[in-house]
Amino acid sequence: MLQKKICMLGSFSVGKTSLVRRFVESIFDEKYQTTIGVKVDKKVVSVGREEVTLVLWDIHGEDVFQKMRMTYLRGMSGYLLVVDPTRRQTLEDALALQARVQEAMGPIAWILVLNKCDRITEWEIDLKQIGPSEGSRQAVIRTSAKTGEGVEEAFSRLAQAMLHSP
């Protein structure tokens, strides 16, 4: 059995927890989340013929009061970088965070997730603004934890990316 540690990264209130809940439909312990800022979930996905257990570390979003603990990321195989496009700042913070992670841990598979696509009218971000990423091999996926759109895809794309990268 193959297991992979995946982290949910992104600013405060971008919908990381909602995405995980949508994906997994189970909650480990609500109290831990508020106490120590991490909630761990699990989901088995199939990549090709192989089954992979994704252990999801839903890490408390960064804000002015709380910096993310890089130690939580240790040993992860990939991460979802979640952005709330209705708040432009979350994209800038996310990209800065990605740079920090890359610096600290080297190249690791990741997916940029634009959440809340059900409220696309409120978006402050033009898709063209992140054009370079879309053009490159870096995956960008639009999701909605509310409707479920793109959620499965985001996780399975990440799983594929992890397995195919060394």
How far lies 133's CA from each of 50, 102, 111, 127, in Å?
29, 15, 10, 10
Q: Which of 8, 14, 76, 97 binds another protein (CB under 8 A)?
A: 76
> Any contact of residue 48 with another protein (CB under 8 A)?
no
Helices (H), the chain: 16-24, 30-36, 88-105, 131-135, 151-164
Contact 147, 121 (CB under 8 A): no
Distance of CA 159 to the CA centre of its chain: 12
Nearer to another protein, 32 or 104 (CB): 32
Q: How far is the CB of 107 from another protein (least distance, A)?
A: 15
Burial 21-39 (b: 16+ CB within 10 A, else e): bbbbeeebeeeebeeeebb
The alpha carbon torsion through 98, 99, 100, 106 (nearest 10 deg) reads 90
Q: How far is the CB of 55 from another protein (least distance, A)?
A: 5
Phi, psi (deg, nearest 5) at residue 111: -130, 135
> Any contact of residue 75 with another protein (CB under 8 A)?
yes
> Any contact of residue 104 with another protein (CB under 8 A)?
no
> Any contact of residue 12 with another protein (CB under 8 A)?
no
Nearer to another protein, 114 or 159 (CB): 159
Q: Binding segment for another protein among 36-44, 93-101, 105-113, 123-131 (CB under 8 A)?
A: 36-44
Site string for another protein, 112-131 (x = CB under 8 A): --------------------
Residues that bind another protein (CB under 8 A): 1-5, 28-29, 32, 36-38, 40-42, 52-53, 55, 57, 69, 71-72, 74-77
